[in-house]
A = this chain, B = another copy of it.
Amino acid sequence: MQKSGQRAGRRRDGLSASVIVGAAIEILDADGEEALTFRALAARLATGSGAIYHYVANKDELLDAAAAELVGRIAGPSPAPAAADESVLALMLGVFDMINAHPWLGAQLSRKPWQTAILHVFESVGQRLESFAIPQESRFDVASALVNHMLGAAGQSAAGSRIAHGVGRSAFLKDVARDWTSRASPDEYPFVHAIAAQLAHHDDRQQFTAGVNLILAGVAALPQTGADRS
């Protein structure tokens, strides 16, 4: 609710990379990705815009650090030794939920798939894949498919909340549905019409889960694989 530039009381008490990244996350969360400018950031930190460059090389690196900070909070080492399926799904949903809580994160992750944040995700996914009996060469492929699924959903969520800001999610999806059905005739685009009807009242999270389960079911069907499903 609060807009930019409150709390201008700070001084040269201690500018640092982590303070800058923290402030950046606050701006991103409060007002969205377009609100993060070096001028706004400098104002919030009560310093000059040039000062930021002493700690961060450029805006790309700043966003990279902000994303890694958030993802690092959930993509840590495997927690409870649950069943492999549930463990992977829990991780995927953890990232999914975090993206939904911080819409700018989805855009950032899908824009730069080799950033630090993705490294964490890959590692976490990979470790949880250990308990599956996946042939060594396939392991990378499976992790990649899961990460792709996540990045795809991330971009979707980011784009959605970017536009739906204030309109409300279901109203936005209704708009998309209307746009699609009006742009495409039912004869030529039967599938899109069928989908459009479901769009407004479908559950993103559930659909994301279905996708993960589809991939995991495919893994179970892999040759040489007798995964230890619970």
Report the bound CA distance from A198 to B141 in whole Å: 11
A111-B155, A148-B149 known; A217 and B222 CB under 8 Å? yes
- Verify if A214 is at the interface (C-beta below 8 Å from B): yes
Whether the Cβ atoms of B155 and A191 lie closer than 8 Å is no
Tell me which residues across on chain B come within 8 A of A151, comparing CB atoms: 110, 148, 151-152, 155-156
Number of A interface residues in the complex (CB < 8 A):
61
- Verify if A82 is at the interface (C-beta below 8 Å from B): no
Report the bound CA distance from A150 to B211 in whole Å: 13
Instruction: List the B residue with the shortest CB-CB distance to A193.
Output: B123
Instruction: Quote the shortest CB–CB distance from A28 to chain B (angstroms).
Output: 17
Instruction: List the B residue with the shortest CB-CB distance to A219.
Output: B214
How many copies of this chain? 2
Tell me which residues across on chain B come within 8 A of A218, comparing CB atoms: 213-218, 221
Whether the Cβ atoms of A183 and B214 lie closer than 8 Å is no
Instruction: Quote the shortest CB–CB distance from A105 to chain B (angstroms).
Output: 14
Tell me which residues across on chain B come within 8 A of A215, comparing CB atoms: 145, 211, 214-215, 218
Residue in B122, B126, B192 whose CB lies within 8 Å of A123: B192
Whether the Cβ atoms of A141 and B192 lie closer than 8 Å is no
Which A residues from 126 to 158 make CB contacts under 8 A with B?
126-127, 129, 138-145, 147-153, 155-156
Tell me which residues across on chain B come within 8 A of A198, comparing CB atoms: 140
> Could you give 25 example pairs across A and B, Cβ below 8 Å?
A110-B110, A110-B152, A110-B155, A112-B159, A113-B156, A116-B183, A119-B184, A123-B188, A126-B190, A126-B192, A127-B191, A139-B191, A139-B194, A140-B195, A141-B207, A141-B210, A143-B195, A144-B207, A145-B149, A150-B152, A151-B152, A151-B156, A213-B218, A215-B215, A217-B217
